[in-house]
Chain A
Amino acid sequence: MAHLIEKTVEREPTPSRSDGQPMEPVSPRQEAGWIGRLRDWIEERTGIFAFAKHHLDEPMPPGVGWWQTLGNLLLTLLIFQFITGFALAMFYAPTPDHAHESVRYIMEEVPLGAFIRGLHHWGSSFIILVVILHILRVFFWGSYKKPRELTWLVGVAIFQVMMAFAFTGYLLIWDQKAYWATVVGTRFASTVPVIGDWLMHFLRGGEEVGALTLTRFYAIHIMLLPVVLVLLTAAHLYLVRRLHIAGPVVPQKGKPQPFYPYQLFRDAVVVMVGVGALVTCALLFKPALYPVADPSGTNFTPRPEWYFLGLYELLKLMPPKLEILGTVVIPGLVALGMILLPWLDRSPSRHPARRMWVIEAGLIVIFLIGTLTLKGILSEHPMPPATSSAVSSTASLPQ
């Protein structure tokens, strides 16, 4: 790996290490004692201490600071999701008969249950928020440019995986909000030409949202997506370390500083603040649990989480028969634009003033998504609860 890490960036030579010899074996300790001997024994077999030292000594270009701490915060929040998700899975049952009841049990009867679920619930919102900030930082700093195109691409894939996490996690609660959000979300697939209906049935595990939808989403949420996310995150970190951190747009004067302890201290402060805010949220605001999923249910206005509100509002604006614009085409174009960004932006400079059209296009997209999301937030209750005086009667068909 050493020879890979030492490759320099084509246009942005990064400061070289003072020793010039990365990952040289850490010399055996001279001092006696069993700890020293154990350390040497491990080092001889794994090289782990040299590896750690190499990465902790990574030189940070001058100007790298607080904005570069978001990745570390994100990693910490992801680890929190893994831990709380693992804990919740021990008390949760993914069946229509038991899912809602098991969530209620977690919330009301298991000690610390409401807090653990709160961490997982609010953690997803925190992650989406920090991911967005992280993406914006990379966008405005132009850090996606050569040679970091693949780092950006893997990051975009991670963002998509996180949205998939949010969508599949939603249903597991099996309350009214979960049920109707999934009915609408999977219905998106049916607007795809030709294979739409098949795709919707594939996602649902049948014609309707039911037992197999729940097991499907559960399997995807706790098995498939975590594995994909770990692989993508590993690739992202590998690329970040191989290509070094991009540094400020305009190179600044000064001496590079090693990652440890200078940048890692900033990371630790931001992680502490972020995790503190998350814990506070989980303590103060219990996540909602609406009535159990009911396909015949009335008096419930389904609304997605805040990060899907922009899409929700966009769908209201689409003319009849053109809903595919809102469900597939426009979200697809935004995703495609993100994927192709490093190649759409041909300017060799990372400076925002020298790639104005990209910055302007980005600002317009950010403004539109922000406006739609804000509109969604402000129209919290678009209409009063249904007051239909219609009489309901219940009839059933014998088995």
Chain B
Amino acid sequence: MSNNGFEHNDDQPNAVLRRRVLGWLVGVINLAVLGGIVAPVLGFISSPANWRQRRKEWIPVLDESRLRPGETLSVNYQVPIQDGYTNAQRKYSVYLYRRLDGSVVAFDPSCPHLGCRVEFRERKQRYICPCHGGVFDADGNLVSGPPPTGLTKLPVRVDAGKIWIRRV
């Protein structure tokens, strides 16, 4: 088939083979050039996917004396994190609940469904997710709604008059 009126000199020895090999080489070179840019760029932009920002040390969040038995408190705290190119003081919150037996439980306020922040309704003693309607009891157990599990419990300890938690 001729293109643009051009006739290939296919009658010359090896012309067809030469054209095929050159065409193949053009393809290989183009693939190599494409790979040469795509591979490092993919590696570059996907690198943060493997970074871990959360700090695992114990964080003092509240004086122990401020949490009465049967009470749930929302406590804000700040943690220094490496947020991309910047060092930031990141604000978080945690729900602290002191059971009647005196033990303390800490709940991650992010809903195990899709991550909205749950709200504690003191009168009903229920956590409610404002996004998709998940409901949890004061002990963090799932009552109703779409979440797959109860609230995530964070490691907690009481020491030196403070309540300490650890982010997981």
Binding site for B on A (CB under 8 A): 95-97, 180, 183-184, 187-188, 198, 201-202, 204-208, 210-212, 215-216, 294-298, 300-302, 312, 315-321, 323, 326-327, 382-383, 386-397, 399
Complex contact A383–B128 (CB within 8 A): yes
Of A183, A298, A315, the residue contacting B74 (CB under 8 A) is A298
Interface string of B127-165 (1 = CB under 8 A from A): 010111100000000100111110000000000000000
With contacts A180-B116, A184-B114, A207-B51 known, is A382 near B57, CB below 8 A?
no
CA distance in complex: A95, B119 (Å): 28
Nearest chain A CB to B42's CB is how many angstroms away? Answer: 10
CA distance in complex: A201, B84 (Å): 13
Nearest chain B CB to A53's CB is how many angstroms away? Answer: 25
Most buried by A among B45, B59, B146: B146
Binding site for A on B (CB under 8 A): 45-46, 48-55, 57, 59-63, 66, 72-81, 83-93, 95, 110, 113-117, 119-122, 128, 130-133, 142, 145-149
Complex contact A382–B66 (CB within 8 A): no
With a cutoff of 8 Å between Cβ atoms, the chain A residues found around residue B45 in the complex are 216
Kindly list 4 other residue pairs between chains A and B, CB separation below 8 angstroms, not including A295-B91, A295-B93.
A327-B114, A382-B133, A393-B75, A394-B77
Complex contact B84–A215 (CB within 8 A): yes
Complex contact B92–A296 (CB within 8 A): yes
Most buried by A among B61, B84, B148, B149: B84
CA distance in complex: A263, B103 (Å): 76
Nearest chain A CB to B82's CB is how many angstroms away? Answer: 9
Most buried by B among A183, A387, A393, A395: A395
Nearest chain B CB to A344's CB is how many angstroms away? Answer: 30
Complex contact A397–B57 (CB within 8 A): yes
CA distance in complex: A204, B84 (Å): 11
With a cutoff of 8 Å between Cβ atoms, the chain A residues found around residue B117 in the complex are 180, 297-298, 300
Complex contact A298–B133 (CB within 8 A): no
Complex contact B91–A184 (CB within 8 A): no
